[in-house]
Amino acid sequence: MTAALRRSWCIAKKDIRIYYNRGPVIIFGILFPAFLFMAFVWGRQVPPHSLVPGLIGMALFFTSSATTPAVFPFETRTRTLERLIAAPVTVPVLIAGDVIAAFIYGVFLSLIPVVISLSVIGAPVYSPLLLAATIVLSAFCFAVLGSLFSAPPTDNPSSIMTIANLVRLPLIFVSGIFQPVTQMAPWFKGVAALSPLTYTTEAVRSAFGQSVAFPPGVCLLALVGFCVGLWVVTITLHRRNMPRRLSL
């Protein structure tokens, strides 16, 4: 176990050095969700405090899943994936390394809207522990989701990012980002309950003392369930597709 964690950490450091801290990553991970959020809230007569959970949720969602989908296609194209497999490194260790890098990136950059909310907007946090737990679980969940997007055996990063955006963009409109779940139609709440981002947003709203449709305990348990389920599906698909990926 210790050796596997060391290998995963080495892969995570490699990902951070090569793929993160670059202009496109910062733009898509921070500026894109920020401008998208501003486009939908600009001119609306709503209290600034009520907008904070959605902003934090979007930051977590996009930053944690911004780069992970493209890592496997890039490494397939450059043949570095073959060297990693020959190390030898197992598929779970590979996935864990990519997820750790995305997790660190997501947690770190999600602190930016948190600091802005506390210092500029002055939104009161009633449960710091709930907020911290939500950020940690959500960052891991969305990092694994990003790795799931990269499961198709291809060496074309743009194809994977197209798939990722086809999933991510609809999710932000059904997950209580722009409209609280408590204000949704009853049938639409059932759709929102299928998205992990919904539970992130609801848990953050609860941490800031706002009304929620799902109790914080339910939100945290749901995020744990999504983490486990997405991890199992991701490992299964990557193992199944690895021979085809290496033959490209």
Q: What is the pLDDT of residues 69-124, one digit of tens each?
A: 888 998 988 888 888 887 778 899 999 999 999 999 889 888 887 887 777 677 78
Going by the DSSP 8-state scheme, the letter that residue 245 receives in this structure is H
**Is the pTM above the cut of 0.75?**
yes
Residue 123 DSSP label: P
Burial of residue 50 (number of CB atoms within 10 Å: 0-12, 13-18, 19+): middle
How many domains does the chain fold into? 1
Q: What is the pLDDT of residues 165-187, one digit of tens each?
A: 899 888 988 888 878 888 888 88
Return the DSSP state at 67. S
Percent of the chain with pLDDT over 90: 39
pLDDT: is 89 or 35 the higher one? 89
**Three-state secondary structure of 166-222:** HHHHHHHHHCCCCCCHHHCCHHHHHHHCCCHHHHHHHHHHHHCCCCCCCCHHHHHHH
At 221, give phi and psi (nearest 5°): -65, -40
pLDDT of residue 240: 94
pLDDT tens by residue, 136-153 = 999 999 999 999 999 999
* 200, 60 contact by CB (below 8 A): yes
pLDDT recorded at residue 66: 83
Identify the pLDDT of residue 41: 64
* pLDDT (tens digit per residue) in 182-240: 888 888 888 999 999 999 999 999 999 888 989 999 999 999 999 999 999 999 999 99
Q: Is 52 within 8 Å of 119 (Cβ atoms)?
A: no
pLDDT band at 22 (very low <50, low <70, confident <90, very high): low
Domain that holds residue 96: 2-246
Residue 165 has a pLDDT of: 86
In this prediction, residue 35 carries a pLDDT of: 72
83-90 contacts at long range (C-beta below 8 A, 24 or more positions apart): 84/11, 85/242, 85/246, 87/7, 89/7, 89/11, 90/4
Q: Would you call 65 helix, strand, or coil by DSSP?
A: coil
CA distance 234 to 147: 7
